[in-house]
Amino acid sequence: MSTENLSNQEAIEKLRELIDSIDVAMMITYPKGAQYPYKTPMSRQEVDEEGNIWYLISSDSETYKNLEVDPKISLAFGDPGSYTFVSIDGIAEASRDQERIEKYWSKFVEVYFERGKVDPTIRVLKVTPLDAHYWDTKTNKFMTLVKVASAAVTGQKVDIGREGELNI
């Protein structure tokens, strides 16, 4: 796998491309005094033009309570079928931005908030990436395995994809 570090707009575009293809991440927060971090799967709403990742979250959730104490957050996106992965560390900031709640509202989100768009527990969570790394084979799992097997047999180097830092 070759290294391709990206910066600025290129990094944001790659981040958006990868996250849009994966959608659900393991959201990792850091409870005060806990021996291990807290993890929960979360579906993102969007990656904006600045590279921020947006979610809707309940203020009653363990994740939200952890972020109130410590805004550090990690996101782990993975699609084993395409061998595509993204790891992000950043800072989370919650708000009651009604405009974004309206923008992100869907039937899927409605299931989590019984009182609809006016549910007092709805929070908009903005994750600002501080450190991001990706692995992208640019092919599916089968083709990656074929390339690796071919390289093992022939001894030739093959390009099985890219990995690198995303400096946003």
- pLDDT digit string, tens, across residues 30-56: 999 999 999 999 999 999 999 999 999
Find the mean pLDDT for residues 75-97. Answer: 95
Residue 15 is encoded by which pair of tokens?
Answer: 């981040």
Residue 139 is predicted with a pLDDT of: 55
Rounded Cα gap, residues 86 and 113, in angstroms: 29
CATH number of 2-167: 2.30.110.10
**Residue 146 in this model has a pLDDT that exceeds 50:** no
Find the mean pLDDT for residues 63-67. Answer: 98
Residue in 96, 73, 98, 76 with CA at minimum distance from that of residue 86: 76
- What ranges do the domains of the chain cover? 2-167
Rounded Cα gap, residues 28 and 20, in angstroms: 19
**Residue 149 in this model has a pLDDT that exceeds 50:** no
State pLDDT tens for residues 119-141.
Answer: 999 999 999 999 999 998 865 44
